[in-house]
Chain A
Amino acid sequence: MDPTSRTPSPPRPVEPHDQSPPDGPPLRLRPPTHRVDPRARRWWLLRGLAAAGAPTLVVGAVWWLWEPARPWLAVPLVLGVLWTAARVLVEPRLRYAVHRWETTDLAVYGLSGWLVREWRVAPLSRVQTVDAVRGPLEQLLGLATLRVTTASSSGAISLRGLDAELAAELAERLTAVTERTPGDAT
């Protein structure tokens, strides 16, 4: 076994990785410039009702109708009610306060989440597809999600709660930019 028999090369100093800011005040990641559409609050509320409220209702109905199961269902029911309340009362406001997005000719930048916040940046040179996606609830409210995918299966950026026309326009513009960019985006 001689795995390390490479040709020796002059040693380069191993720099600490904060090469960009040598001194001065520390750098900060600024939030993206645009807020999402105010109608997104209603969308998140409806989504919360559908995702948390509906199962809670089912559990509640079973609790009501089937007496022997009550001791078993009390805890799940209470948890379900609390979770629904959080998703309906807190989530839309918090998300509206947090969610922001920005697109430039170089990158797509999104900030999202309520319990877990996430800042995501993808350079347009790595972007493969840009789509405006609209689910049934979004169609009802005139909203759309801008989905930007890269060659990485987990690297997609979703900008949710945008105005439908704005999202379509953005998708068109960004697609034009990515098509101008050479390379196979891996």
Chain B
Amino acid sequence: MSESPAAPRDVAPDAAVVEADRPATDDGTPWSRLAPRMIAVDLARSLLSLAPTAVAVGVFGVEASWSTLWPLLLIAAWGVLGAARDAVRWAVTRYRVTDEYVERRSGLLVRRYRSVRRDRIRSVDTTARLRHRLSGLRIVLVGAGQQLAAGESALALDAVARRDAELLRAVLLDRAPALAAADQGAGADAGQDAEHVIARFRPWWVVYNLLSIWSFVTAAGLLWGAYWLLDTFGLDPVAWVEGLLPWERLGRAGTVLVGLALVLAVGAVGMGANYLAASWGLELARVPGEGGTHLRSRQGLLTTREVSRDDRRLRGITVSEPVLWRWMGMADTSVITTGLSIWSASQPAAVLPRGPASVAWPVASAVLAADPDPIGAPLRRHPAGALRRRLWWATATAAIVTGALAWLAATAVLPAWAPWVGAALWPVALLAAVVAHRALGHAVVGDYVVVRSGLVARATSALRRDAVSTIALRESVLQRRLGLRTVAAMTAAGWGRYDAPDVEADEALRFAVAAAPGVLDPFLVRDDG
């Protein structure tokens, strides 16, 4: 009984990224070092991280002992060690670009070679932290088609001089001329020399980024950091806050409310600052390249980030509107594209920061540049059965929660009013069901299939029909009774799966047939009924 004889198609020789103990090619291309300025930066970093300790002892006269200074000393040790590690990394890392590969050699004790096939490179991005910007350095991130471990680029060069970074990008993104000529087909329209700016940053978008569930986390971090810092310098923030307001007169509820408001205010300031730092100067543009156009965004105040997304990899776009903020028209815009990790913390797929829907929709439309335009096309509403299914589930959930709470109350674990909490959940759940039903919609517009759904965040996704790789129809017992089916279109890009939940059964089949052209045709028969 042997294992399957079938071998996966993309085994090592074909892989885009290979990590090995010898170079991928041996054609004598010379290796280059990272920028030597890194050493100067590391020295400055070490000195800077020692500064707080010096200030505490020299300016505030804090007693120079381990027990009072340990947090600052930890910071100093952290900074110095980080800088030392960085210097070692500079010393052992080399990179080179050969005809076929980009290679990086690294490792102090064991030498490792990481190589990326040049024809598999999907993106070359540059990013820079404050220290890189001050010293004219850039981090180059090379992305290959496959999605690696969370947030990891196929190859990162940290850091090279800005000129070298630009050169690398130009070399790596512009393929061999013959290949480029063959690829140009779609994007060969005349007059593409100039870049076409799609969106620019507006500072007032910050109002969309002040409040979220993360405000509390941000506030907690900021307050804790402030307390800890002041405490280290021998100040007493608790007494200062106590003296700020006549807390006794506010009572317990008043204290909680004022405290909550203060925390939210601190959180909002933190979130706003974070947003401005990350998105300042955003410019989203479509720029021509040798091998077709790219969707490029540049942003950042202290840390600048530039992301280029190959238009040939673009499969669609998603505009997502959080339910609680729909009244103020808040929307997130991200592209559906292969080769960009959806899990990456830097969210390379997000072409716009959280901002007004009035901007998001036209931008989405301009990014796709499709005719007819799938963005804003009327969507087909889903039948009343879909609402019934949601109401049913809302009721069942509320009933189960209430039942569990009633049981716990009956066994005297919870107070007697506990079941009423479950009962109060019911109208909320029913309302949520109605909201969720109103969010549903689907359509096929030109080359795109458009689906919209979602309660917490209503996501409208337009996906190229030729990008759909697997099509599925689902039908649960309840859906069968209500005459509904869920259509799922699977693709290699973005989330990998885009659903149109609870479509009326016949319409579901028509929609599935249209969403994946030709895929279902061999299995269709005429109903002779």
Contacts and interface: CB of A to CB of B under 8 A. Distances in A.
A17 B374 CA distance: 12
Interface string A144-165: 1000001111111100000010
B56 interface: no
Contacts of B474: 113, 116-119
Contact of B513 (A20, A150, A168): A20
A155 B493 CA distance: 11
A21 B523 contact: no
Contacts of A185: 9, 469, 492
Contacts of A3: 198-199, 359, 362-363, 365-366
A175 B202 CA distance: 52
Contacts of B5: 132, 168, 171-172, 175
B526 interface: yes
Contacts of B467: 186
A102 B520 CA distance: 13
A1 B200 contact: yes
B38 interface: no
Nearest to A172: B5
Given A26-B527, A121-B523, A152-B491, A131 B359 contact: no
- The 3 A-B pairs of least Cβ separation, nearest first, read A17-B444, A155-B490, A151-B492
Contact of B527 (A28, A71, A132): A28
Interface string B504-529: 00100111011010111111111111
A26 B506 contact: yes
B4 interface: yes
A71 B526 CA distance: 57
Interface in B1-18: 1-10
B67 interface: no
A178 B529 contact: no
A131 B4 contact: yes
B193 to A, nearest CB: 15
Which size bracket describes the interface of A in this complex? 35 or more
Contact of B199 (A1, A28, A75, A178): A1
Among B4, B474, B518, the one with the most A-chain Cβ atoms within 10 Å of its Cβ is: B4
B338 A30 contact: no
A49 to B, nearest CB: 23
Nearest to A75: B407
Contacts of B513: 20, 27
Contact of B359 (A1, A106, A134): A1
Interface stretch (A6-14, A34-42, A50-58, A59-67): A6-14
B477 interface: yes
A14 B476 CA distance: 33
Interface of A: 1, 3-4, 6, 9, 11-12, 14, 17-21, 24-30, 32, 71, 75, 102, 104, 106-107, 109, 113, 115-123, 126, 128-134, 139, 144, 150-157, 164, 167-168, 171-172, 174-175, 178-179, 184-186
B509 A27 contact: yes
Given A168-B2, A172-B6, 10 more contacts: A117-B476, A118-B475, A121-B470, A121-B523, A122-B469, A122-B471, A130-B6, A155-B469, A156-B470, A178-B9
Contact of A128 (B8, B475, B514): B8
25 contacts: A1-B199, A3-B363, A6-B369, A12-B446, A14-B446, A21-B510, A24-B526, A27-B509, A28-B525, A28-B527, A30-B525, A75-B407, A107-B523, A117-B474, A117-B475, A119-B473, A121-B470, A123-B518, A129-B8, A129-B9, A150-B490, A168-B5, A175-B9, A178-B9, A186-B493
Given A122-B469, A130-B6, A25 B526 contact: yes
B524 A4 contact: no
Contacts of A113: 474
B372 interface: yes
A32 to B, nearest CB: 7
Nearest to A128: B9
B469 A123 contact: yes
B317 interface: no
B492 A150 contact: yes
A6 B366 contact: yes
B97 to A, nearest CB: 23
Interface in B30-47: none
A185 B470 CA distance: 11
B377 A14 contact: yes
Nearest to B378: A14
Given A4-B362, A132-B4, A179-B9, A151 B469 contact: yes
A18 B9 contact: no
A18 B359 contact: no
A152 B492 contact: yes
Given A14-B372, A153-B496, A29 B362 contact: no
B398 interface: no
B497 interface: yes
A19 B521 CA distance: 13
B66 to A, nearest CB: 51
B472 interface: yes
B435 to A, nearest CB: 24
Given A121-B470, A130-B6, A14 B445 contact: yes
Interface string B458-479: 0000000001011111111100
